[in-house]
Structure 1
């Protein structure tokens, strides 16, 4: 697949899909629910080590450097790739974070607030205490699910974490995504560094790829 895909971002995205917990239907576009990960970053790395000299291995290794285990949706993959990949590849070069981190709620009050004993955070900047939660209209549109989402966020806030709710509207266009990035940089204490024309072109290319919800993934 690394050999056949033209853009490195597509290979990275494929790695997220293989190591994630979401699946596409036969049309290659529509989400078909969740499933256990098909593989992991470590297993792919081990396989590539056994494929020395095979066409596409170097490109696959380069892409695997930016893949993470456990993404639960294409939008989580978008956030992880665009924030985590370096600027030379179209990303924003944010400091390290984890995806779908499980957090055990330590006392009965927090468990009562969230109505569960543990929660999962979409993206977590652990050292900075900042959470990003993607709110999908399809999955969070009902009143009960909305209540559950807000209760979970309140439990995280009660633990001293900052919670940012991200919607598709905030990432649909590059301009809106730039505003989101600026706000996150401010919260994380990062400098707002301008980028050159070539870097901006790569950011535009990566965002156009990942934000296209009508695109076939296979």
Structure 2
């Protein structure tokens, strides 16, 4: 049996495979969607499907979304929703879900070859779904774009939400793709339903974000004003600063890794999502880091959830950063940012984008903050031996 899981359940399965130690992900070299080779009753009654997928779709969606190669292969049964994907697949369309407990990572899981959409196809599929909401007037194009930005930052970042709606987030993972890889995939998908919306969102996806709130902060800084940001671009997220060349021994750290650093301004930002007890323990380290940044000529902002929890908090944070830019001698840039913050039309856009981004993690934000110290062991996604996928399993 072959199952290509898509839709909300596909997102949930991808998240589970990133987080669970018994699951892994590997590139799939399939050139087309494989046949299911089973009836709907066999799919829904299969023990492997019940074990792997049923807990996810019960929490995420009333039906399991699967891809089939043609309309003739649609399976009409309660609990399954078929999406027809005809023709040849683009490279890097699918990922294989692997059982890491077996010596052969290309072995079926309980007799089922299980695949999920890779990041590019996942964003394209979600964009197609959101397009329908936009067309029916149930969602604005701006909110749809913001949702895709958030999902893209997660897929290209080192964190993953836990499946379900009860919160939780894992950290320290390997990114599944880069934003340039996603953009290249979507460029090759030109003309497909949802491609235009997905391509627009992909332009703003950030690489290497370490947490949901870090993604929100980065997007609200770097996005162009028409998507809620203030066009303050920065280098790579979490890029280490080498401080080893310190002949006078003035610095307490040999290296530091701010979440965001504006090299041209000498301003660094760090998001601290720890709970109150961890914050108390980190106060001394915060003080030492601030002193080191000051010694090297940087202004450091240590931000917390209350600095991003709503539009007024965000705009107050952005205004503080603008004032620091002014103090660094870049008055023209600072005034540009402040004018954007004072513009009522831009405020409305910013509120909608921030609201959409927070909505994706609103039920999770408190959990992320509480569980910042819980790290998921970094695991390399499995690489399948050879260049071919195994044949269909029975």
TM-score by length of 2: 0.50
Partner in structure 1 of residue 222 of structure 2: 84
d(CA) in 2 for partners of 1:216, 1:168: 12
Distance 1:131 1:63, change over 3 A: same
Counterpart check, 1:196 vs 2:330: no
Deviations 1:31-71 (A, max 9, x none): 12320111101211222233232222211211111112111
Structure 1 segments of 4 or more deviating over 3 A? 142-150
Partner of residue 211, structure 1: 358
TM-score by structure 1 length?
A: 0.86
CA–CA distance in structure 2, aligned partners of residues 86 and 129 of structure 1: 22
Q: Which runs of 5+ in 2 are unaligned?
A: 1-125, 131-138, 327-333, 366-394
Deviation at 1:152, TM superposition (A): 3.2
The answer as to whether partners of 1:140 and 1:146 remain within 8 angstroms in 2 is no
Partner in structure 2 of residue 106 of structure 1: 244
Structure number with bigger Rg: 2
The Cα offsets for residues 145-200 of structure 1, whole Å up to 9 and x where unpaired, read as 44334433332222111101111112212222221111111112311212133x32
Contact 1:171–1:211, Cα closer than 8 Å, also in 2 = no
Check conservation: 2:308, 2:314, Cα contact below 8 A. yes
Q: 1:123 to 1:140 in 2, by over 3 A?
A: farther
Aligned to 1:2: 127
Q: Alpha-carbon deviation of 1:216?
A: 6.9
Select 1:62's aligned residue among 187, 192, 200: 200
Gaps of 5+ in 1: none
Whole-angstrom CA distance in 1 between matches of 2:179 and 2:276: 27
Compute the RMSD of aligned alpha carbons: 2.4
Change (3 A) 1:161 1:216: closer
Relative to structure 2, which stretch is displaced further, 66-75 or 44-53? 44-53
Distance verdict in 2 for CA 1:153–1:140, change over 3 Å: farther
Residue aligned with 1:131, SS: strand
Q: How does 1:58-207 map to 2 (within 5 A)?
A: 58-91=196-229, 93-98=230-235, 99-107=237-245, 109=249, 113-114=252-253, 117-138=254-275, 141=278, 143-189=280-326, 190-191=334-335, 192-193=338-339, 194-197=342-345, 199-207=346-354
Q: Matches of residues 7-26 of structure 1 in structure 2 within 5 Å?
A: 7-26=144-163
Aligned positions, number: 212
Cα offsets for 1:79-98 (capped at 9, x unmatched): 1111111221222x232113
Match of 2:369 in 1: none
* CA displacement at 1:143 relative to structure 2: 4.8
